[in-house]
């Protein structure tokens, strides 16, 4: 992570969240998570908001929520601010 910009690459996002890159890529592919930006080298970049969202998704998975239930929770939370 770059401390000045609070931007994570997918590798640092993986390290910070404890989730494998493959899991994060899966969440990106099914639109549970979105990149914040792209670096000049075209690497996907994520911010603190995305890290917190990823931790929330992970916690919901541990609690036994299905992917569809998680999507609804994430959308519900997004619409509430």
pTM for the predicted model, two decimal places:
0.81
Question: Residue 32, CB half-sphere, CA atoms under 13 Å: how many?
Answer: 24
26 with 39: CB under 8 angstroms? Answer: no
Domains observed in the chain: 10-76 (1.10.1660.10)
From first to last of the 81 residues of the chain, give the pLDDT tens digit.
Answer: 444 558 999 999 999 999 999 999 999 999 999 999 999 999 999 999 999 999 999 999 999 999 999 999 888 876 554
């Amino acid at each position: 992570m770059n401390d000045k910009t609070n931007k994570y690459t997918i590798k640092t996002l993986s390290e910070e969240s404890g989730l494998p890159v493959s899991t994060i890529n899966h969440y990106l592919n099914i639109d549970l998570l979105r990149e914040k930006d792209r670096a000049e080298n075209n690497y996907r970049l994520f911010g603190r908001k995305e890290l917190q969202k990823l931790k929330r998704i992970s916690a919901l998975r541990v609690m036994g929520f299905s992917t569809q239930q998680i999507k609804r929770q994430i959308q519900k939370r997004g619409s509430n601010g």
